[in-house]
Amino acid sequence: MDVERETYRPQPDFGTPEVRGAATVTLTIDGREVSVAPGTTVMRAAAVSGGSIPKLCATDSVKQFGSCRLCLVEIDGMRGTPASCTTLVADGMKVHTQTKRLEKLRRGVMELYISDHPLDCLTCSANNDCELQDQAAAVGLRDVRYGYEGENHLAQPMDISNPYFDFDPSKCIVCSRCVRACDEVQGTLALTIESRGFGSKVSAGLASDSFLSSECVSCGACVQACPTATLQEKSVKEIGKPERATVTTCAYCGVGCTFRAETRGEEVVRMVPWKDGKANRGHSCVKGRFAWGYAQHQERVLSPMIRSSIDEPWQEVSWDEAIARTASELKRISAKYGRNALGGITSSRCTNEETFLVQKLVRAGFGTNNVDTCARVCHSPTGYGLKTTFGTSAGTQDFDSVEDSDVILVIGANPTDGHPVFASRMKRRLRQGAKLIVIDPRRTDLVRSPHISADYHLPLRPGTNVAVLTALAHVIVTEGLADEAFVRERCDWEEYRHWADFVSLERNSPEFLEPVTGVPAADLRGAARLFAKGGNGAIYYGLGVTEHSQGSSTVMAIANLAMATGNIGRRGVGVNPLRGQNNVQGACDMGSFPHELSGYRHVSDAAARALFEAEWGARIDPEPGLRINNMLDAATDGLFKAIYIQGEDILQSDPDTKHVAAGLAAMECVIVQDLFLNETANYAHVFLPGSTFLEKNGTFTNAERRIQPVRKVMEPKNGYEDWQITQLLAQAMGLDWAYTHPREIMDEIARLTPTFAGVSFARLDAEGSLQWPVNEAAPDGSPIMHIDGFVRGKGKFVVTDYVPTDERTGPRFPLLLTTGRILSQYNVGAQTRRTANVVWHPEDLLEIHPTDAENRGIKSGDWVRLASRSGETTLRATVTDRVAPGVVYTTFHHPVTQANVITTDYSDWATNCPEYKVTAVQITPSNGPTDWQEEYEAQATRSRRIKGPNSSEERGAMEPAE
């Protein structure tokens, strides 16, 4: 399969979905013999064998419907002309797809369609990329007998409300592919076919609804399914038909959808989900599908800049000058304050290769282990918890596994917003009848959505995850529901007994804990029984688990539950962290933590160190380095002076903004490498412009440990790919790096990392993706882990005692704030805020329960002051019973909200992952921004001034609207 830049042609369409199973049915189609799995349609069998039957209403992303009658065939021994898309294969069947009789019938059908379709093909934006046109040609339609005078749909107005695609009903042939795509692929059920017969038309919900005002989440599935130009990307109209297609990986979330970047010249026309992508299987969400325009945004910085103090305006300089200055500053600081005054931050948004190089530069070049990554603030407890219990810092399943789950337990995750494409697959399984348990303080969309209703929603008080999980374990153990046979065989029995005795204590019963967790004991018991006895049980979790003072304990409690019920080591079960950013898994794998080399080997491990020292020709410190928060503490103490930050905005994403600002302000050299002047750059002395995922080669690793290629579709506008910038810096610091392509970096990673031993770019090109471990024991990778035994040997049960957070409500701060994210925006929003996605989320809103709102005289839309021990901010309220009384909720996608001014510096006991999900707050009516917001804004504006290279003229702030 050659997936490197190929000439554009549409992806093959087999007409109906693939059926899993062995190819045991053999039939003949137009004289060609073909074997397929039972249950396959004649249409698909024909396509598989290289033929092609005309079709309009069938496409392989949705179930066959049989409405257009274009796909008729003749079958020996069968009367009439059955539709091939609804006829299943049978052994020995003889099918004829091209006969005179069929030709005539098909032409008749086609004529009817075309007579109600504008014949402006030559000027249509879909010209030469339209199935209707192709099929008309395929059936040999030359003229139309019905004329266009009669009643038709040609004058209907277009719906252009969606920022990314248009709906032109005059071109619609009412094949309902869009409706079925929205139902089956996306699961939103936003579209319907209104009325019947000739008057029928596609509609986004109510008659008055446009796409934008409807339930539509802009995933693009309908656009992809549409055979005509009725639903089409605006960008195709603007730019024209693509010429080339390159398969690459989405740079937004941890689902890791693969796309075909379809380009014309150096311009991206559209991103279309790749059908062969194993993570997304041809589906996408609004971010990856449409929100890639930030690469061209006017605020993107393309020249390096320096300044000697953050009060000065930026000065644009050449790359040579910027790199030379950075290297000399780093050397000066190292000489003056010692090597441990230096450090670096790797990014989960950058590739594996880039991340690997940053930590290599820090360890081998700076000579310190002070390297950390933003995964610290999201999934570090996953690494700790799963390594302790199972032996591997990663999830156990591939995404396909959910197709075999019977009970799905979702805790602290909001997949429909955070991991939309996986959520669609999960919802499909739920519509097929799998049971659902949701543990979340908020009534997330998953709890109740079209054709889905959670069997149990346990709306716990924020901060009581461990108590709820222990109570579930209490029910399972005391009611004899545990899978002791599994435990005896696979886990340490003594440790299990110790744990089982602990969870059985009366103080861990649901009844005893109800006042603490707020979860009705009867519901909790019901959920426990369902999970233990409902068949294959799979647990999916997100940041609502990790970002707590007991984040690591919660991950271990989840692992305990999976082991106790025997739900590990096969399809349909497992423990599945849903990763936030695209390459969180990869950043962790690549040795971004201060105590670990790539592949999770501790720096005190002399054998591992020796391997790296030999390869790198440098000594590696056997002592762990500083974590981000400790670097900042050391900076305020005057001991930490320089930091190299690649692709991260720690000022906006890390807790307790004021503390982060103070730490950064105390440093002598802050180097930020990013696309935009982000918030952290307000405290930077060197700005190195970065490249987007469309401008570089490399790999990302998604939440299922799947390593997937990122391919360059255009030259970096800033001049260099990010790994090249790190290499320039390393060379200027005297290191002899000479990589010419990221594939050489991957080769080095494979040499040094046992779980990556079998990974190479050549294999990734040939196989599309690989799931680590890929090595001698698992030459083809590992979709599912711990099949015959745990990586650590015996599974380890760890007692997880509920220890309440020190963040408590009281008279001054009586409410609990928890934070999350929404579909259209991504993380701190640096990219999505610079796309049309802002139409769905122009600002962060505070959700508050009607009772709490009424007590405070607050209505939806009012400005409110949100205050905690750490600070205060203002934003607008929305009154909703999605949150329980006593709980408020907001997102943190917009810097002006400064939600992290509110969050405290409490963190996970084992990993210091910040406790974003619980902050005691007070809400009061307000009439505008706080002093801090205004001061911050003024500082940001001042700090973003730029002087041109040859002029003294200053340009204004780069982000005026913020």
Instruction: List contacts with ligand SF4 (CB under 6 A).
Output: 172-178, 181-182, 186, 188, 190-191, 202, 216-222, 225-228, 230-231, 250, 252-253, 255-257, 280, 284-285, 287-288, 419-421
Query: Which secondary structure element, helix H or strand E, spans residue 955, and what is its range?
Result: strand 954-955
Cβ distance to ligand SF4 smaller for residue 233 or 852: 233
Task: Compute φ and ψ for 813, nearest 5 degrees.
Answer: -125, 80
Stretch that binds another protein, among 27-35, 521-529, 607-615, 632-640 (CB under 8 A): 632-640
Number of residues that bind another protein (CB under 8 A): 30
* β-strand pairing of 305-306 with 686-689: antiparallel
- By CB under 8 A, the residues from 638 to 677 that bind another protein are 639
Stretch that binds another protein, among 29-37, 258-266, 630-638, 826-834 (CB under 8 A): 630-638
- By CB under 6 A, the residues from 657 to 676 that bind ligand FES are none
- Closest-approach residue to ligand SF4 (CB): 288
Cβ distance to ligand SF4 smaller for residue 126 or 651: 126
- By CB under 6 A, the residues from 417 to 476 that bind ligand FES are none
Q: Give min distance, CB of 463 to another protein, in A.
A: 14
Q: Give min distance, CB of 230 to ligand SF4, in A.
A: 4
Count Cα atoms within 13 angstroms, Cβ side, for 597. Answer: 27
At residue 543, the 3 state secondary structure works out as helix
Task: Answer whether the bond into residue 779 is a cis peptide, omega within 30°.
Answer: no
Q: Give min distance, CB of 312 to another protein, in A.
A: 28
Residue 230 near another protein by CB under 8 A? no
Cβ distance to another protein smaller for residue 416 or 907: 907
Task: Compute φ and ψ for 919, nearest 5 degrees.
Answer: -140, 130
* β-strand pairing of 946-947 with 314-316: parallel
| Angle between helical axes of 493-504 and 551-564 (0-180°, round to 10) | 110
Our CA dihedral for 480, 485, 491, 492, rounded to 10 degrees, sits at 80
Select from 189, 186, 217 the least CA-distant residue to 203. 189
Cβ distance to ligand SF4 smaller for residue 178 or 472: 178
Tell me which of ligand FES, ligand SF4, another protein, none is bound by residue 809, counting a contact when its beta carbon lies within the kind-specific cut-off of 5 to 8 angstroms.
none
Q: Give min distance, CB of 43 to ligand FES, in A.
A: 7
- By CB under 8 A, the residues from 333 to 362 that bind another protein are 340
Q: Give the distance, in angstroms, between the CA of residue 603 and the centroid of all CA atoms in the same chain.
A: 30
Question: Rounded CA gap, 958 and 943, in Å?
Answer: 10
Select from 693, 687, 733, 726 the least CA-distant residue to 710. 693
Select from 456, 414, 413, 465 the least CA-distant residue to 436. 456
Residue 67 near ligand FES by CB under 6 A? yes
Cβ distance to ligand FES smaller for residue 172 or 364: 172
Query: Binding marks (x or -) toward another protein, 553..582, rule CB under 8 A?
Result: x-----------------------------
Q: Give min distance, CB of 625 to another protein, in A.
A: 5
Q: Give min distance, CB of 105 to ligand FES, in A.
A: 12
The DSSP letter of residue 255 is T
Q: Give min distance, CB of 273 to ligand SF4, in A.
A: 7
Residue 174 near ligand FES by CB under 6 A? no
By the 8 A CB rule, do 116 and 152 touch?
A: yes
Residue 637 near another protein by CB under 8 A? yes
Stretch that binds ligand FES, among 64-72, 99-107, 461-469, 952-960 (CB under 6 A): 64-72
> What six digits make up the tokens of 567?
């739900």
Query: Which secondary structure element, helix H or strand E, spans residue 115, and what is its range?
Result: helix 100-115
Tell me which of ligand SF4, another protein, ligand FES, none is bound by residue 637, counting a contact when its beta carbon lies within the kind-specific cut-off of 5 to 8 angstroms.
another protein
Q: Which of 41, 246, 369, 691 is in the footprint of another protein by CB under 8 A?
A: 369
At residue 922, the 3 state secondary structure works out as strand
Cβ distance to ligand FES smaller for residue 10 or 949: 10
> CB under 8 Å to 401, separation ≥6 — which residues?
538, 571, 572, 573, 574, 783, 784
By the 8 A CB rule, do 786 and 569 touch?
A: yes
Task: Compute φ and ψ for 745, nearest 5 degrees.
Answer: -70, -45
Q: Which of 203, 228, 702, 912 is in the footprint of another protein by CB under 8 A?
A: 912
Tell me which of another protein, ligand FES, ligand SF4, none is bound by residue 498, counting a contact when its beta carbon lies within the kind-specific cut-off of 5 to 8 angstroms.
another protein
Tell me which of ligand SF4, another protein, ligand FES, none is bound by residue 801, counting a contact when its beta carbon lies within the kind-specific cut-off of 5 to 8 angstroms.
another protein
Tell me which of ligand FES, another protein, ligand SF4, none is bound by residue 934, counting a contact when its beta carbon lies within the kind-specific cut-off of 5 to 8 angstroms.
none
- By CB under 8 A, the residues from 483 to 502 that bind another protein are 498, 502
Tell me which of ligand FES, another protein, ligand SF4, none is bound by residue 502, counting a contact when its beta carbon lies within the kind-specific cut-off of 5 to 8 angstroms.
another protein
Residue 594 near another protein by CB under 8 A? yes
Q: Is the dihedral of CA 768, 773, 776, 777 positive or negative?
A: negative
Tell me which of ligand SF4, ligand FES, another protein, none is bound by residue 803, counting a contact when its beta carbon lies within the kind-specific cut-off of 5 to 8 angstroms.
another protein
By the 8 A CB rule, do 677 and 299 touch?
A: yes
Tell me which of another protein, ligand FES, ligand SF4, none is bound by residue 228, counting a contact when its beta carbon lies within the kind-specific cut-off of 5 to 8 angstroms.
ligand SF4
> What six digits make up the tokens of 348?
């989960």
In terms of C-beta density within 10 A (0-12 exposed, 13-18 middle, 19 or more buried), how is residue 946 classed? buried
Q: Which of 70, 217, 430, 645 is in the footprint of ligand FES by CB under 6 A?
A: 70
User: What is the per-residue DSSP string for 407-462?
Assistant: EEEEES--HHHHSHHHHHHHHHHHHTT-EEEEE-SB--GGGEETTEE-SEEE-PPT
Residue 102 near ligand FES by CB under 6 A? no
The DSSP letter of residue 121 is G
Residue 89 near ligand FES by CB under 6 A? no
Residue 879 near ligand FES by CB under 6 A? no
Q: Which of 441, 544, 625, 647 is in the footprint of another protein by CB under 8 A?
A: 625
Query: Binding marks (x or -) toward ligand FES, 24..63, rule CB under 6 A?
Result: -------------------------------xxxx-----
Q: Which of 98, 161, 200, 636 is in the footprint of another protein by CB under 8 A?
A: 636
- Look at the block and give the residue holding tokens 């559209």: 270
> 672: which strand partners?
645, 687
Question: Rounded CA gap, 678 and 675, in Å?
Answer: 8
Stretch that binds another protein, among 532-540, 629-637, 745-753, 938-946 (CB under 8 A): 629-637
Cβ distance to ligand SF4 smaller for residue 350 or 681: 350
Q: Give min distance, CB of 72 to ligand FES, in A.
A: 8
Q: String of b and e for 511-544 (b: at least 16 CB within 10 Å)? A: eebbebbbbebebbbbbbebbbebebbbbbbbbb
Tell me which of another protein, ligand FES, ligand SF4, none is bound by residue 341, counting a contact when its beta carbon lies within the kind-specific cut-off of 5 to 8 angstroms.
none
- What are the strands, taking DSSP E only, across 282-405? 305-306, 314-316, 342-346, 371-373
Question: Rounded CA gap, 613 and 620, in Å?
Answer: 7
| Angle between helical axes of 521-533 and 510-517 (0-180°, round to 10) | 120
Q: Give min distance, CB of 175 to ligand FES, in A.
A: 7
Question: Residues interacting with another protein, by CB under 8 A?
Answer: 340, 369-370, 498, 502, 549-550, 553, 594-595, 602, 604, 623-626, 630, 633-634, 636-637, 639, 799, 801, 803, 905, 909-912
Question: Residues interacting with ligand FES, by CB under 6 A?
Answer: 55-58, 66-71, 83, 85
